[in-house]
Structure 1
Amino acid sequence: MPVQNAPDHLIGIFRDTVVALVRRDGHDLSARQLGVFLTVYMSEGPHTVRGLAATLNVSKPAITRALDRLGELDLARRKTDPQDRRSVLVQRTAKGASFLREIRSVMMEADGAGRGGAPAQAANSESATRRAS
């Protein structure tokens, strides 16, 4: 197998990951929701609506809408900052941590497929099997 161009390989991993997340059981996240989710889980907190808006360079209402959806899915929750009641802290959840592990697993499978490892379709066929039963 020829060695892949690194940027193309990364885009392939990204594509395979997004496709697997869309195909899996349950709800899928928009790009903005996924960006907020990954920022909360991949960078040190505490995270606030204002801070997330600044980090992602989007409006506070856009962050609020994304957090509304993440809250509905129990992937993140908001809590009033006890030290400054005007500020809202964004907290991680157990379900969110599990979802992050799932994303990592899908990405590792996609990376293995690009390097001649196990096919990335394995996660997709497993999900399809669960849906069919």
Structure 2
Amino acid sequence: MVSLVRRDGPDLSARQLAVFLTCYLQEEGHTVRGLASELNVSKPAITRALDRLGELDLARRKVDPLDRRSVLVQRTLKGAAYLREIRSIMGEAAPTARKEGSEERAPRAGRRAA
């Protein structure tokens, strides 16, 4: 997560990142109402997150042609590229995290194992 913040590019809040990842990692079509329900936050909170994602061209909203009261969330090419970048950063961090985790579990020199 630190790498995401330090690099050049969009800086998303936890809520914005949750909305983004929900839209990109789950195949189904997403609506503001559905995202609010799934993430257990208010519709205005989802709207604010989508406003920011829209400013960054990471997602866009479109009126549902079958139900004009409903708003669909669509993926963008820039959003797909951002997801690839997140996956790359997380993939690079995973071996380091596993190594640090195993060092914490290993008995330290000079200590007797119980």
TM-score by length of 2: 0.84
| Between structures 1 and 2, the one with greater helix share | 1
Q: Which residue of 2 aligns with 1:36?
A: 19
Q: Which residue of 1 aligns with 2:8?
A: 25
- Are positions 1:95 and 2:81 aligned together? no
> 4+ residue runs of structure 1 moved beyond 6 angstroms?
none
- Equivalent pairs counted in the alignment come to 99
Match of 2:37 among 49, 54, 62: 54
37-46 or 62-71: which moved more? Answer: 37-46
Deviations along 1:76-129, one digit per CA (max 9) or x if unpaired, are 00000000000000000000000000000001100122345xxxxxxxxxxxxx
Larger Rg: 2
SS state at 1:79 partner? strand
Of all paired residues, the percent bearing the same amino acid is: 77
Q: Which residue of 2 aligns with 1:67?
A: 50
Q: Which residue of 2 aligns with 1:80?
A: 63
Structure with more relative contact order (C-alpha pairs < 8 Å, separation 6 or more) = 1
| Between structures 1 and 2, the one with greater strand share | 2
Which amino acid letter does the alignment assign opposite residue 49 of structure 1? V
- Gap runs ≥5 in structure 2: 100-114
TM-score by length of 1: 0.72
Alpha-carbon distance in structure 2 between the residues aligned to 1:103 and 1:27: 11
